[in-house]
Amino acid sequence: MNTIERYNKLHNTEVSRNTLEELLLDAKREQEFKVANKLDALLRTYKESTFYVRITKRLKPVKRKVKRVKDKNEKAVAKPKENKPELEVRGLQMPRICLRRKSIPQKITTTVIEAPKPEPKRLNTETVVPKGLKAPVQKVVKQNINGLPTMADLDHYEKPLETFALPTELGLFLGELEKKPKHSVVVTLDAPAGSGKTRLFFQAMQDYANDGKRCLFFTLEEHSQSDLFKKKRNQYITPENYQNITVIDEIKDYEDFKKLVALHDVIFVDSFGKLKRLIKSFKLELDEHIRKMFDGKLFFLIFQRTTGKTMRGGSDSEFDGDVILQVEKPTEDYRDNFVIARKNRYNDKPMIKYSIFNQHTIQDHEEEIGGSTNHNLTPKPNLFVRSL
């Protein structure tokens, strides 16, 4: 058995290092350089004492021509004598050369003419199209480029069973918020001072805690031990949900922030600008360090509105949220304040509003006056002018 056959028999076997070294020496003696190079590279790369060999492509033995070495003691075989032409002398004693040749039998060659093979019958796959109609265009199915994902691959992903949708009036306003398998959903709230944004957070925490979600509240603007905070808790949170809501007053390290977020489902931050100022180790970015850092979370972030009526915390943060909410103050009465969605990817209902004081949605044809919904507004009659 040569070294190539021995090398091929190593497939799916466990051998020692000494066995491979012996096979390497035999391969060098037999000048099987392919086997020698593969074994030499294997032994140089890995220093283990035993190897489990799996050969993806077996080697084929190469037939080599062996030169025949003439033995000195071998007797020379006498060559047959050639028939030399004989001389015949006739008449005037002039020699005439006659060459006698052996008659060589002619070989009879026979040519076999094969009958042509019948061509296989091809089925007529052409569709008969009636007159006046265009023939259907056959679509060519192309394979994806270099294994990159396509739209067809989305059907093979499992749809998450758990969502952040709420069976309440606030849930009707927010829409069917999903629980992303990759990255998280971010809801931003842009509001001026004294517009009721913190009360909206308390209402959302009550709904999500009542739905079995673990909530985390970073109350960085208003301390949790203050009397004002306790009044809001008593007004909006039921006692059975106290244990489902974690309250954090100060955070200074981003690693601590990540550990706290990992233990909860819904995270509320009041406010994002204060969080950026407290974490001083680097510049905190909404998209990079919050939305894309965690998977399957829901974030509610408050952005203070500046005097120029823009979101404090950077203009880029305004576009990084999946849902962008804004509190409007139509009058000086806080009971008339309502929330609108400047962008909401999860609610297709147009012009829907949410009253913070009354805790219910407002359709576009309704109007909040003095904290109550006025449904008895009669439209003004239209005036048509026609020429006589």
What are the pLDDT digits (tens) for 287-300? Answer: 999 999 999 999 99
pLDDT at residue 39 in the model: 83
Co-location of 184 and 315 in the same domain? yes
Report if residue 148 sits inside a domain: no
- Among the candidates 21, 36, 53, a domain finishes at 53
> Structural domain tally of the chain?
2
pLDDT at 123: 54
Q: How far apart are CA 197 and CA 298, in angstroms?
A: 17
- For residue 281, what pLDDT band results from cuts at 50, 70 and 90? confident
Structural domain contains residue 317:
yes
Range of 16's domain?
3-53
| Judgement on whether residues 200 and 324 belong to the same structural domain of the protein | yes
Q: Which of 11, 31, 53 is the last residue of a domain?
A: 53
Q: Is the pLDDT of residue 60 over 50?
A: yes
Token duo for residue 12: 């799916």
The stretch 83-112 carries a mean pLDDT of 57
Check: CB of residue 202 under 8 Å from CB of residue 235. Answer: yes
pTM: 0.56
Q: Are 203 and 170 in contact (CB under 8 A)?
A: yes
- Identify which has the larger pLDDT, 349 or 213: 213
Q: Is 44 helix (H, G, I), strand (E, B) or coil?
A: helix
Residue 30 resides in a domain: yes
User: Of 27, 53, 79, which one is at a domain's C-terminal end?
Assistant: 53
pLDDT(232) > 50 = yes
Per-residue confidence (pLDDT) for residue 68, from 0 to 100: 62
Residue 177 lies in a domain: yes
Report the distance separating Cα 16 and Cα 20, nearest Å.
7
| Residue 13 resides in a domain | yes
- The band of 148, judged by pLDDT with boundaries at 50, 70 and 90, is confident
Helix, strand, coil proportions of the chain in percent (round to 5)?
A: 30, 20, 55
Please check whether residues 200 and 343 belong to one and the same domain: yes
pLDDT value for 13:
85
Alpha helices in 183-271 (DSSP H): 197-210, 227-236, 254-262
Mean pLDDT along residues 183-195: 90
pLDDT number for residue 55? 80
Q: Which residues contact 211 (CB under 8 A, 6 or more apart)?
A: 166, 167
Does residue 291 form part of some domain?
yes
State yes or no: pLDDT of 369 exceeds 50. Answer: no
For 169, residues 6+ apart whose C-beta sits below 8 A from its C-beta are 354, 359, 360, 361
Q: What is the pLDDT of residues 307-328, one digit of tens each?
A: 555 555 555 666 778 999 999 9
